[in-house]
A and B are shown apart, each in its own frame.
Chain A
Amino acid sequence: MNPYFIEYSIIGIAGLIFGVALERGRMCFVLATNNIFTAGDTKILEGILWAFGISVLAFGIVESLGIIPVHAAIQGVFPMGWYDLVGALLFGFGIGICGACMSGLIFRAASGFTQNWMQLFGILAGTIFFAFIIFPMTNFLYWILHTIPWLSIKPGISDYIPHEWFGDAAWGPFVVALIFGGFFLILGLYLTKRRFKKISNERGENYKEPIITWNMLKFKEPYSPRLGGLLFAVVAIIVLFASYYTVHKAAYLGVTTPYGSFDTYILAPFINLYNVVGPYKASFLPKISSNWFQIVPVAIPMTFLVICTFAGATITAILGGEFKWRVPRRKMMFVQNFAGGILTGVGARIALGCNIGTLWSGFLMFSWAGVLFLPTLVLGMYLALKFQELVW
């Protein structure tokens, strides 16, 4: 059987599970940070920390045991650079004013929130703006390759932290996973314990939330974010194994590049994206691509994953009785979400990914990309929250 067919089939199933986890677990990075900033509530963050902690530990074990060889694991490693800081700030502000990160957008759009569809259209428009204007006009590839030596793309394995710290030692990935993944998981467990204790004191009873119940499985109530986080980790592991054992390449989860693929499908009947030479083609760099679409493949398994994620989230929204087309009373929200979507799309392209592809997968790849993406992402979301408190 064609290995690509098997890969896409398994990744499609992973996408469905991802959609279920998103919609039922309310897994949204903006929701998590807003709840912390406004009320010090960590419930959603705990789920995200579970997702990061469990998956990073699993990836470290898999790579240290040689189940996925390091040479295969590093094929998909995202390099880190200054563009992570800049892109994450724009991206964070964009998702902040839309109230939904790249994963939160999927579950809200799939539940019928029309303002999040507007955010999606904004992302598509922002990606086109980046591809045809920012990318060629700024010679983007040149700048990410040749500027700020300590914050620019290094070749191959150099961006792989286990190699950077421990050379070729087989236990390197496990130790790095223990440091990063262990930190996430312990922090998640601590925050859960602290939250339960606080609620117990307020109510005068021993408060606990189950991770899973029959009502959750029957879609009668939402999942605990920790169950959502666990499913997130399972999806990342399925994607890694499915791609390695079918087409012998390690694949990491990503959401924004697939949106670029959607743009390609929309534009392809009108423009030959791969032959057209943009008006801003840099003459002193003859080999540079003239638009962003020329540096990314169209048919990637993650595009299918995103489509199936939408499907999974829609199915559970319907089964949970929560699907409904929702139109905001204030039509200004369409404008706000479209503008936020443009910032989201441009920011994600500058940072080479989003809160899934660069942040989470950055940690899974053991690249510094995730670490660099995080602080300005949080800053961007915080500024967006303050902006909205001021405006609305």
Chain B
Amino acid sequence: MAEDKNLGEVKPDEKLDVTGETCPIPETMAHKRLKKMSVGQVLEVYTDHAAAVENSFPSMLNKLNYPYCVTKIAPGEFIIKIKKTS
């Protein structure tokens, strides 16, 4: 599933802050949180680990087939919005 820029404006149902943490923690925690959420809900992840945003999250979300949107809010700081679709 490629990036879906429309998700950027969607209000998230849940938020996850993994500031200062590196792989595999951000994507592992996001995956666990998504498992607990209902289909159709949106998770907002705040991370400052660029390598996770460039590599780990897209790989995981492509495999899960979940649409996502990455927004760079400051140098080295990102918000990823993920929609649980199945």
Contact = CB atoms under 8 A, between A and B. Distances in A.
Nearest to A321: B75
Interface in A297-333: 321-324, 326-330, 333
A114 B28 contact: no
Given A39-B60, A113-B22, A392 B28 contact: yes
B38 interface: no
Interface residues of B, number: 30
Nearest to B77: A324
A222 interface: yes
A83 B29 CA distance: 35
Nearest to B61: A39
Q: Kindly name the residue among A28, A39, A203, A222 whose own CB sees the greatest number of chain B CB atoms within 10 A.
A: A39
Nearest to A116: B22
Contacts of A116: 22
Given A39-B60, A222-B50, A330 B24 contact: no
A38 interface: yes
Interface residues of A, number: 37
Interface in A95-120: 99-100, 108, 111, 113-116
A328 B25 CA distance: 11
Contact of B63 (A30, A40, A328): A40
A273 B59 CA distance: 48
Nearest to B65: A202
Nearest to A98: B22
Contact of B29 (A26, A34, A115, A392): A392
B32 interface: yes
A43 interface: yes
Contact of B2 (A28, A202, A322): A202
Contacts of B59: 35, 38-41, 43
B24 A26 contact: no
B23 A328 contact: no
B25 A392 contact: yes
Q: Kindly name the residue among B20, B25, B60 whose own CB sees the greatest number of chain A CB atoms within 10 A.
A: B20
B32 A99 contact: no
Contacts of B50: 26, 222, 322
A35 B76 CA distance: 21
A29 to B, nearest CB: 11
Contacts of A115: 20-22
Contact of A323 (B2, B63, B76): B76
Contacts of B25: 99, 333, 388, 392
A329 B20 contact: yes
Nearest to A113: B22
A385 interface: yes
A31 interface: yes
B62 interface: yes
B19 A26 contact: no
Given A38-B59, A323-B76, A392 B32 contact: yes
Nearest to A26: B51
B4 interface: no
B68 to A, nearest CB: 13
Interface in B15-72: 17-25, 27-29, 31-32, 48-51, 54-56, 58-60, 62-63
Interface in A27-78: 28, 30-31, 34-35, 38-41, 43-44
B23 A99 contact: yes
Interface string A373-391: 0000000000001001100
B75 A324 contact: yes
Contacts of A40: 59, 63
A322 B47 CA distance: 13
Given A31-B23, A321-B75, A326-B19, 6 more contacts: A26-B54, A31-B56, A38-B59, A41-B55, A114-B20, A388-B25
Q: Which 10 A-B pairs have the closest CB atoms?
A: A41-B59, A328-B20, A39-B59, A321-B75, A326-B20, A39-B63, A322-B76, A99-B22, A26-B51, A34-B24
